[in-house]
Amino acid sequence: QPVLTQPASASASLGASVTLTCTLSSGYSIYEVDWYQQKPGKGPRFVMRVGTTGIVGSKGEGVPDRFSVLGSGLNRYLTIKNIQEEDESDYHCGADHGSGSNFVWVFGGGTKLTVL
């Protein structure tokens, strides 16, 4: 099954842009990855899915246009432009693997985004 790796932390100034990275383990370059945003004390919120050619399907409900994704090789990126205070959150990437009795869902360790 794939392993998803995320930096533990990232920061950006108000109004700037930031790109968060989720890296798939070798051999899983065709996998699509979901991005989830989680604010302290709350359940996660679906942001969008990203594959090798970019967004797959549509964004989650209420996700601003400032959020976009890109896929390249083993990396799946989430870019936030014109960062706002409300974007300060933990961001998790995840993907499913297998089917039937072999199904699993794997998450990365999450990235804590701080807005300066």
**Minimum distance between the CB of residue 37 and other proteins, rounded to whole angstroms?**
11
Q: Which is nearer to other proteins, 34 or 82 (CB)?
A: 34
**Minimum distance between the CB of residue 44 and other proteins, rounded to whole angstroms?**
5
Structure tokens at 8: 């533990």
Residue at 22: amino acid letter: C
Residues binding other proteins: what is the number (CB under 8 A)? 27
Whole-number Å distance between alpha carbons of 105 and 89? 22
Contacts of 68 (CB under 8 A, 6+ apart): 55, 78, 79, 81
**3-class DSSP state of 86:** helix
Q: What is the 3-state secondary structure (H, E, C) of 63-97?
A: CCCCEEEEEECCEEEEEECCCCHHHCEEEEEEEEE
Restricting to residues 81-110, which ones interact with other proteins according to CB under 8 A? 92, 94, 96, 101, 103-110
Using CB under 8 A as the criterion, what x/- string covers residues 24-63 for binding other proteins? ----------x-x-x---xxxxx-xx------xxx-xx--
Q: Which is nearer to other proteins, 76 or 92 (CB)?
A: 92
Using CB under 8 A as the criterion, which residues of the chain lie in contact with other proteins when the complex forms? 34, 36, 38, 42-46, 48-49, 56-58, 60-61, 92, 94, 96, 101, 103-110
